[in-house]
Structure 1
Amino acid sequence: MFEISTTKKKFNANEIKFGGSYPYVARGDKNNGIRGYIDEDMQFLNSAHTISFGQDTATMFYQNKPYFTGDKIKVMSLKNGNLNRVNASFLIAVMRKSFLGFS
């Protein structure tokens, strides 16, 4: 159902200078996973209309704009069709519920 990819570049969150234009998505569970905004080489932006998935924390958020991520984030896009806020919200709710049984 999903194409799952690794971030295009691994950024060290301790060395990032915030105050830029593009979201930097980490594994946090607040603010849609956005830790701040940065400016980096645009070739490393992840696509908009995807789900960011925190590997260690199982945090999932729909990202409607291009974004940068940390190294423990997977980027999920639909194999067939496009994600939007409505269908992404449904899919995230289902995935979160299915993960409740895991620790």
Structure 2
Amino acid sequence: MQKLVTIFAIATSLAFPASAAEFGMASYYSYPHKSGLIAAHRTLPFGTQVRVTNLDNGRTAVVRIVDRGPFIRGRVIDVSIPAAAALGFRQAGVAHVRLEKL
């Protein structure tokens, strides 16, 4: 039975890689306790680094998860103001993004 579980775990990891992308809308917010390229995500562990790609203009930034959120339907990540500027959507307020866990 243990061999079967091990084989299933290996097969599952090959079929569903850990770096699967997540797609959705991003917005930005101000987090007064930390600065830099940081973000909030609902489920990723704190300290996780995520590559965020703005699908509207192709810009990318690597952010670190330090908070929980966003709490608005359809949004997958809230990034800091500097990250929104690096991704080129500070003026627009939201962007279509792809997230890749690093």
TM over 0.5: no
Structure showing greater radius of gyration is: 2
Question: Structure with the greater relative contact order (CA < 8 A, sep ≥ 6): 1 or 2?
Answer: 2
- Taking structure 2 as the reference length, the TM-score comes to 0.36
* Structure with greater strand share of residues: 2
- Taking structure 1 as the reference length, the TM-score comes to 0.35
